[in-house]
Amino acid sequence: MEKNLTQTNKLENESRVIVVTSGKGGVGKTTTTANLGMSIARLGYRVALIDSDIGLRNLDLLLGLENRVLYTAIDILEGQCRLDQTLIRDKRWKNLALLAISKNRQKYNITRKNMQNLVSSIQELGFHFVIIDCPAGIDVGFINAISPAQEAIIVTTPEITAIRDADRVAGLLEANAIYNVKLLVNRVRPDMIQRNDMMSVKDVQEMLGIPLLGAIPEDTNVIISTNRGEPLVLNKKLTLSGIAFENAARRLIGKQDYFIDLNTPYKGMFQKVQEFFLGKE
């Protein structure tokens, strides 16, 4: 009995549960979840993405999996299906799975305990990463979404309203004992920063005092990829935003070699972008 318990704990410790959150809506949480998830899966890990929105899911669209959502977590709770029936495996990368909490018109009061049980059942299936896409707002949906997580990524744009909400969320995460928090600054426009019309990534990072995971440029390709249901990181010829997401994914899994690999053809360009965003060290 005791041995079993230890084994379960060990398994759970090996996998990471990360919530992608923001405070302000529309700053890029779902885009981040889809691209980081796909990147990490391509690096060989088993990844489960959870769309935790009740009633307004859209992660399935970004991944092009919308026609395959037959069952949701709510169906499990209602005894309509098993967990494995709710996990939709991506055809491009079979080690990536998506689980939706609910369908668009499905309403249900999911509890924190429900979320925690769901995530630990997914962990028991051997997923290395469980990434939870947070719903908008900081009410009950937010509290449920963060409750199974040990780590968080706060997404913000370099706008003062988004930064203030990000700061508020950082406080809420801490109050809920999530101390491993990283920052992703999205929709950065170097031209505006240069004209002093936008805060630099470094300024945003310093204001919030949260370690930086990545900076993603404003890029129309993000919208194109959303409409196609193909995360940017799948593009054969990576755009700048695709490179930036891949880089963030590598940082997340602790592979920092991306910056120093001289054989990487994008290094020169990426380093320039980094310097542009962050300023030379």
Binding residues for Mg ion (CB under 5 A): 29-30
For residue 158, the minimal CB distance to ligand ADP (Å) is: 11
Q: Which does 157 bind (CB under 5 to 8 A by kind): Mg ion, ligand ADP, none?
A: none
Query: Binding site residues for ATP, as ranges?
Result: 24-31
Positions at the binding site: 24-31
Considering the complex, state which of residue 75 and residue 219 has its C-beta at the smaller distance from ligand ADP: 219
Number of residues assigned to the chain: 281
18 strand-pairing partners: 131, 151
CB of 143 to Mg ion, least distance (A): 17
Judged by beta carbon distances under 5 to 8 A according to partner kind, the member of ligand ADP, Mg ion, none in contact with residue 73 is none
Residue 58 CB, shortest distance to Mg ion, in Å, is 6
CB of 60 to Mg ion, least distance (A): 11
d(CA 216, CA 151): 20
Nearer to Mg ion, 56 or 269 (CB): 56
CB distance 9 to 123 below 8 Å: no
**CA dist 228 → 28, 81, 233, 235, 268 (Å):** 17, 30, 13, 11, 29
User: How far apart are the C-alpha atoms of 69 and 106, rounded to whole Å?
Assistant: 13
Q: Smallest distance, Å, CB 86 to ligand ADP?
A: 21
Among residues 189 and 267, whose Cβ is nearest to ligand ADP?
Answer: 189
| Interaction partner, residue 28 (ligand ADP, Mg ion, none; CB < 5-8 Å by kind) | ligand ADP
Least CB distance from residue 122 to Mg ion, whole Å?
20
Which CB, 76 or 222, lies closer to ligand ADP?
Answer: 222
Residue the block writes with tokens 């600054």: 185
- The answer to whether 63 touches 272, Cβ cutoff 8 Å, is no
3-class state of residue 39 by DSSP: helix
Binding partner of 222, given ligand ADP, Mg ion, none, CB within 5-8 angstroms per partner class: ligand ADP
Give the residue from 43, 49, 85, 47 showing the smallest Cα distance to 68: 85
Q: Which amino acid is at 56?
A: L
| Binding partner at 15 among ligand ADP, Mg ion, none, C-beta below 5 to 8 Å by kind | none
Whether residue 177 contacts residue 183, with contact meaning beta carbons closer than 8 Å, is answered with no
180-212 b/e with 16+ CB inside 10 Å = b?
Answer: ebbbbbbbbebeebeeeebbbbeebbebbebeb
Dihedrals phi, psi of 49, to nearest 5 degrees: -105, 135
- Closer CB to ligand ADP, 36 or 74, in the complex: 36
Could you list the residues that contact ligand ADP (CB under 6 A)? 22, 25-31, 136, 186-187, 216, 218-219, 222-223, 226, 241
Which of ligand ADP, Mg ion, none sits in contact with 66, Cβ below 5 to 8 A by type?
A: none
Rounded (10°) angle between helices 240-252 and 220-228? 80
Residue with Cβ nearer Mg ion (16 or 29): 29
